A and B are shown apart, each in its own frame.
Chain A
Amino acid sequence: MAEIEIQTAAAPAGRARQIGDIILEVEDITLTFGGLTAIDNVSFNVREHEIFSIIGPNGAGKSSMLNVINGVYHPQKGQITFNGKTRKQMKAHHSAAEGIARTFQNIALFKGMTVLDNVMTGRNKMMKSNFLTQAIYWGKGRREEMEHRRKVEDVIDFLEIQSIRKTPVGRLPYGLQKRVELARALAAEPKLLLLDEPMAGMNVEEKEDMCRFVLDINDEYGTTIILIEHDMGVVMDLSDRVVVLNYGGKITDGTPDEVCNNQAVIDAYLGVTE
């Protein structure tokens, strides 16, 4: 398969050694909407510099899990420790401040803005000058804007979207929009990057590109990545470890090989005959 070649080509042999301590610890998370239990008592941990995948059938609670991690949903039970800080409740913009960035399953770009502006918003939280200095556009406000522009250009180069930087994102094809969204998340220089089905709806070529970017980000910036993906080939090739969810509950976690051979996982995916 094509993805296997990419993996071997892009990942240096010593990568496994760089994996560090636990950076994210998810403990006993339970999330309900009214009577519906979306996540049921799930725990797992992610280590620094790891590529960690969450898999499971549709409706298993994968996206909800990401939403809990970055504070969009507030779980009824359980706690999350990120980077040494433990919390039960958190606002989404706080999680951004702590260094969690993400992309969305359904593209959530700012449609009215250009690619450049979209990526720049990823750095807005780091801009310290207030609206008055920006209004005058002289001295500090302007210098700051230029510094961030330079950093953003690095990201744009990295993801190879130079030629579209002044295009309004609404005009871009789907695959490129996904890439711009990744650029926006990356511009925030996150410690932890949450990717919600970054390859959904893509053709093989676009998938290969995206896989390469995910690995490169992981290598170059040392970013820890949590990935949700339905394409098992991609998941098995990219991930260091995998957690499997089904009906909101955790089935198992472990290395791709362990998970592949787990009977409960096979049952969940293929169904069980009585």
Chain B
Amino acid sequence: MFYRETGQFKTSYSADEAIFPIRQDFVGFWIIMAIAFVGIPLIANEYYFTAILVPFLISGLAALGLNILTGYAGQLSLGSAAFMSVGAFSAWNFITRIPEMPFLISFILSGVIAAAVGIFFGIPSLRIKGFYLAVATLAAQFFIEWIFTHVGWFYNYDPSGSITTPPLTLFGFELISPMSRYYVTLTIVTVMALLAKNMMRCSVGRDFMAVRDMDIAAEVIGIPMLKTKLLAFAISSFYLGIAGALWAFTYLGNVEPAAFDIAMSLRILFMIIIGGVGTILGSFIGAAFIMLLPIFLNLGAHALFGDLISQQLLVVSELMVFGGLIIFFLIIEPHGMARLWQIVKEKIRMWPFPY
């Protein structure tokens, strides 16, 4: 009823190519932004900021990074966490070694370094396809993890092998409070998501999708395979690198290479599969799902069984439910939850008619 596009006529191609061509969506987007920037900070407490919101936003950004590579360009990767660790460790080295540089520039440089590493590990994608490539990206996962545990320079020879991040400073203010860290994260994530959306609806995104859907046809049309695939690896790794830097600086504050292990890579992959492959929105829905599910499972299990069962049993049953739910969601909507949202929107548009 309220969700109709009747009466909204487009008079230019740019209006037709807007991110939200339907006015209601546009309004909805700004309402969400208002909630995120104004509403949430008014009501959220420290726990929400540090344990839920910040990690959710960063995981969403990481999932977006992987989605650019896997969802849009069709190159399956199992090494996302490794590129995050490149970002995290580069940012830490920039910020502790060159403290006078503004942190945003350090972050961008770390993203660029992650992108360079991504290009390097993307080179095999020219010869290798599909699952072979996926397994080959594990080489990046294990090699990078090894580098950061065995080459002392990267963590400044700290005996614990981990890095402790100094607080970020902006215009002389130290961003220590959970709310300020939330704002930094939210701003960076929002800007990067919009940039990604723009890229993906222009020729870059179409190049990626063409390579994904049918690579030979793409080449015949004049899309250079080498450049396109490497660009996908670069952009994706840039996003993952920034996500890694945020993970270290605004979320954990202290990270070791093992934090970016294969389990993390798989989690990020889950986010995009559950959320929706090849959609920006899906990355965030998936991140919310994968982040929040364990929290809810934990709360639910405690509420239901309380002290009846051991902590150990609680942990393994969470694992079971998590695995089971993933299979369940794959079965009911293999295209991810973003697709479900799409279907719901179409239904509302047509309401009360079924078709």
* Chain A interfacial positions (CB closer than 8 Å to B): 70, 72, 91-93, 95-97, 101-102, 104, 108-113, 117, 120-125, 127, 129, 131, 134-137, 141-142, 145-146, 149-150, 153, 184, 188
Contact = CB atoms under 8 A, between A and B. Distances in A.
Contacts of A131: 199, 204, 231, 235
Nearest to B214: A108
Contacts of A137: 198, 202
Given A110-B209, A146-B14, A121 B218 contact: yes
Nearest to B231: A131
A146 B17 CA distance: 9
Interface in B181-218: 195-196, 198-199, 202-204, 206-207, 209-210, 212-214, 216-218
A136 B206 contact: no
Interface stretch (B78-86, B91-99, B221-229): B221-229
Interface string B281-322: 000000000000000000000000000000000000000000
Contact of B221 (A96, A135, A145): A96
A188 B199 contact: no
A112 B212 contact: yes
B171 interface: no
A145 B202 contact: yes
A134 B14 contact: no
Contacts of A136: 195, 198
The secondary structure that dominates the A interface is helix
B335 to A, nearest CB: 10
12 contacts: A97-B222, A109-B213, A113-B206, A113-B213, A117-B206, A121-B206, A122-B221, A131-B231, A134-B203, A137-B202, A145-B202, A149-B17
Nearest to A150: B13
Nearest to B196: A135
A93 B224 contact: yes
A30 B291 CA distance: 59
A274 to B, nearest CB: 43
Contacts, number: 110
Interface residues of B, number: 31
Contacts of A123: 203
Nearest to A113: B209
Given A108-B214, A110-B209, A131-B204, A125 B199 contact: no
B206 A125 contact: no
B223 A135 contact: no
A229 to B, nearest CB: 19
Contact of A134 (B202, B212, B220): B202
Given A134-B203, A137-B202, A146-B14, A70 B220 contact: yes
B207 A124 contact: yes
B210 A110 contact: yes
B346 interface: no
Contacts of B203: 120-121, 123-124, 127, 129, 134, 145
A123 B223 CA distance: 10
Contacts of A117: 206, 209
Contact of B207 (A95, A121, A153): A121
Contacts of A120: 203, 206
A263 to B, nearest CB: 37
B219 interface: yes
Contacts of A127: 202-203
Given A131-B231, A146-B17, A149-B13, 20 more contacts: A92-B219, A92-B220, A93-B219, A93-B220, A104-B217, A108-B216, A109-B217, A110-B210, A110-B212, A110-B217, A112-B209, A112-B212, A113-B206, A120-B203, A124-B210, A124-B222, A129-B203, A131-B204, A135-B196, A145-B17
A110 B207 CA distance: 10
Contacts of A97: 222
Instruction: State the 3 A-B residue pairs at the shortest beta-carbon distance, nearest first.
Output: A96-B222, A125-B222, A110-B213
Contacts of B212: 110, 112
Nearest to B227: A93
B65 interface: no
B69 to A, nearest CB: 14
Contacts of B221: 93, 96, 101, 121-122, 124-125, 184, 188
